Structure 1
Amino acid sequence: MHLPASLRIVRVSQRLAALSLLVVVVMLLLNAASWLMPVVARLGGLRFGLSARIVSRLAPDLVALGEWQRLGAALLSSVPLLALALALLNLRALFQRYARGEYFSAAAADHFGNVGRAVLAWVVLDFLCEPLLSVWVTMGTPQGHRVMFSVGTGTVVALFLAACITVIAHILRQASDLEQEHRQFV
C-alpha cells in the first residue's frame, strides 16, 4: 500500500529527527568512551574524527596515559563534536518542522542555516583542537614530535558543504520572506 507523499514526508522526517538525536548521543558517548575506556579504543572503528586521527597517528598506549590525561583528551576531542552535535540538533529541529508541514518557513530556513554554520564551526574547531590534543596526549615525548596539523579532503568537502548549506539557507529564507509578502497582497 502506497502512502500519500505528504504522509511519507511526515514519517521520514519524524524518523530522521529521532535518528539525529540518537547520533548526537551515541557520537558523544563513544568519543568519551574511546578515551576513558581503553577496551573501547581497541575496537578501532568506534572513534570519531579527531580522536581517530590522534590515536591512529600517534598510537599512544592509552592505558599508559594517566586518567587525568585521558579525561583531558576526551574533553578536548569533544569540543569539535559539540559543534557537530549542534548541527545535528538543528537538523533535528528542521525535520520536526518538516513533519509539521513547515517546508518553506523562515524558521526552517534558519535551522538549515544554523546547520551550515555549525558544520563550519566543527571544521574550524577540529583544526584548532588537533594540535592541542596531540600535545596533550604526547606530553612525555620529545618536543619535536608533539604537534600535528592535518587538512584532508574531508575537511575541504565539509567546508564546501557548509558554505553551500549556508547559501541555500539564505535563499530559502528570502523565498520565505517573498512568500509572506505575496500572502499579504492576496
Structure 2
Amino acid sequence: MSHALSDPRLARLRHRGRLLSAVTLFILLALVGGGLGIWLRPAWIEAIVVPRVGISGYPVTLDGLSMTLGFLIAAVPLAVLAYGLNEVRLIFRDFGNGETVTGTLATRLERFGAAVALQALLNPLVSTLLGVVLTLGNPPGQRVLAISLSSHDVVSVLVGMLVIGVGAVMREAARIARENEGFI
C-alpha cells in the first residue's frame, strides 16, 4: 500500500468528498425541484415569488399563461444553478476519489464560478420578467414593471469571479505539480 493511500488526512478527505458529493446532489435536486414546484400552486407563487420580485401589494393574475411563462422564466436561472451545483458535486466526487490538485478540478472551479456569476447577472432580468408576467393579465394601469438590483447580486458576481480566479490559480498549481512529478 502506498503512503498516499495510507495517509489518514487523505482518507478523511476522501470520506468527506463522497459524503459532500451526495449532500450536494440532494441540495441540487431539492432546490431545482422546489424552485420549479413553486409554479404549480398559485398560493406558493403569491407567498414566495411575488415578494421576491418586488410586486407585493400589487394585484397579480395567476392564470395558466402567467404560471407557464413564470415556470419557463424561472427554469433558466435554475438550470444555471443546477449546472453550477453539479460541478460542485463532481469536485467533491473527485475528492472522494483522492483527486486534489488537477486540471479537472481547476476547470470545475471555473465552471462553478461562472455559474455563480451568471446566475447573479440573470437575477435582475428574471425578477423583472417575472413581475411583468405576473401582472400581464391585469387591466391597463395595474401592470407592474419592477426592476431591482441587490447588493447580493453584486457580491455574487464578485464571488463567482473570485472562484474563477481560484480555478485559474489551481490550474497553474496542477501544471507545476505535473512538472515536479517528472523530476522525481
Both proteins in one fold, TM over 0.5: yes
Is 2:87 the partner of 1:90? yes
Q: 1:151 aligns with which of 149, 152, 157?
A: 149
Match of 2:78 among 44, 61, 81: 81
Partners of 2:157 and 2:52 in 1: CA distance: 18
Which amino acid in the other structure matches residue 184 of structure 1?
A: G
Deviations 1:158-178 (A, max 9, x none): 111111101111000011011
TM, length-normalised to structure 1: 0.84
Q: Percent identity?
A: 22
Asked if residue 23 in structure 1 is aligned to residue 27 in structure 2, the reply is: yes
After superposition, residues 54-133 of structure 1 pair within 5 angstroms as: 54=53, 57-58=55-56, 64-133=61-130
TM-score (norm 2): 0.84
CA 6–183 in structure 1, closer or farther in 2 if over 3 Å, else same: closer
- Contact 2:55 2:144 (8 Å CA) reproduced: no
In structure 2, which of residues 4, 15, 24 is the aligned counterpart of residue 11 of structure 1?
15
CA positional deviation for 1:128: 2.0
Match of 2:158 among 160, 164, 177: 160
Name whichever of 87-96 and 123-132 sits farther off: 123-132
SS across alignment from 1:129 = helix
SS across alignment from 2:69: helix
Query: Aligned equivalents of 1:118 and 1:146: distance in 2?
Result: 29
State how 1:169-184 maps to structure 2 within 5 Å. Answer: 169-184=167-182
In structure 2, distance between residues paired with 1:107 and 1:66: 46
Count of aligned pairs between the two proteins = 177
Specify the SS of the correspondent of 2:146: coil
Give the gaps of 5 or more residues in structure 1: none
Relative to structure 1, is the Cα distance of residues 135 and 115 closer, same or farther in structure 2, using a 3 angstrom cutoff?
same
Q: Deviations over 1:112-142 (max 9, x none)?
A: 1110011111112222222211111111154
Does the Cα contact within 8 Å between 1:51 and 1:77 map onto a contact in 2?
no
Query: How far apart, in 2, do the equivalents of 1:92 and 1:105 lie?
Result: 16
Q: Which has the larger radius of gyration?
A: 2
Residues 167, 141 of structure 1: alpha-carbon distance in 2 compared, 3 angstrom cutoff: farther
Name the CA distance, whole Å, in 1 between partners of 2:106 and 2:132: 40
